[in-house]
Amino acid sequence: MNVVEPGSPAENIVARAKTLLLRPLEAWAAIDSETSTIESLYRGWVIPLAAIPAVCGTVRELGFGGVQIFGIHYRPSFVGVIFEALLTYGLTLASVYVLALVIDGFALRFEGERSRTQAFKLAAYSATAGWLAGAFLLLPAIGGLIQLLGGIYSLYLLYRGLPVLMRSDEDRTTPYFVMILLATLVICLVIGSLASCVGGWGGPISID
C-alpha cells in the first residue's frame, strides 16, 4: 500500500525532491521551463518543506532537550521551545524571499538575466536538501550533523542551478555563488540570533 496517494501534491513533492537530489541538472532544466509563481511555490513547496526541520527540531527539544553541565540539567520551557520554533519557521519563510532578492539583484553583475520568479525558484528548490535533512533532527546524537550535510548539499544544488535559471555566464558562476553564499550566511546568523534571543530557557533545573 502506498503511503503517498498517486497524483497527489505529496507525490509531486516526493518526485521533484528525488530528482533534485539525485539528478540536479535534469531537475533544474525542468524547473527552468515551468511557469510557476512565487505564491504557488510558497504554497506548494516552501511552506510544507520548511516545516520539516521546525517540527522535528521541536519534537527533539521537547523530548530530549536540555543541557547538562557538571551534573546540573537545564531543560527549556515548553512555551520557549514552541515560540522559538514558530519564529524560526516564520523567519525561514521570509528568508527564502530575501535570498531570491539577492540572487536577482546580483544577476546582471555576473552577466545573467534578472527575473524575480526564476530567482525565487532557485532559492526555494535549492533549500530542499537542507529541509529534508531536518527530519533527522529527531535523532539526538547525529541529527544536527546530518542536517548540516544536507545544508551543504543544498549549496551544491544552488551552485548547479545558478547558470540554468539565471542565465549567468558559466565562467562567473563561482564568484556569483560566493556572493550568494555570503548573503546566506548573514541570513542564517540573523535567524539564529533572533530565535535564540526569544526562545529562552525558563524550564526546570535538576541536579543529578
- Per residue in 69-94, pLDDT tens? 445 555 667 787 888 889 989 999 99
Question: What are the pLDDT tens digits along the chain (208 aa)?
Answer: 455 555 567 888 999 999 999 999 999 999 999 999 999 999 999 999 999 999 998 888 887 655 454 455 556 677 878 888 899 899 999 999 999 999 999 999 999 999 999 999 999 999 999 999 999 999 877 888 999 999 999 999 999 999 999 999 888 999 999 999 999 999 888 887 877 676 554 444 334 4
Give me the number of domains the chain comprises.
Answer: 1
Q: Is residue 4 part of a domain?
A: no
Q: Is residue 166 part of a domain?
A: yes
Q: Is residue 1 part of a domain?
A: no
C-alpha to C-alpha distance for 63 and 175, rounded to whole angstroms: 43
Expressed as residue numbers, the domain containing 40 is 9-65+75-201
The answer to whether 31 and 108 are in contact (CB under 8 A) is no
> For 132, what's the count of Cα atoms within 13 Å in the CB-facing half-sphere?
19
Q: What percent of the chain has pLDDT over 70?
A: 84
pTM, two decimals, is 0.85
Cell reading at 63: 523530548
Q: Is residue 208 part of a domain?
A: no
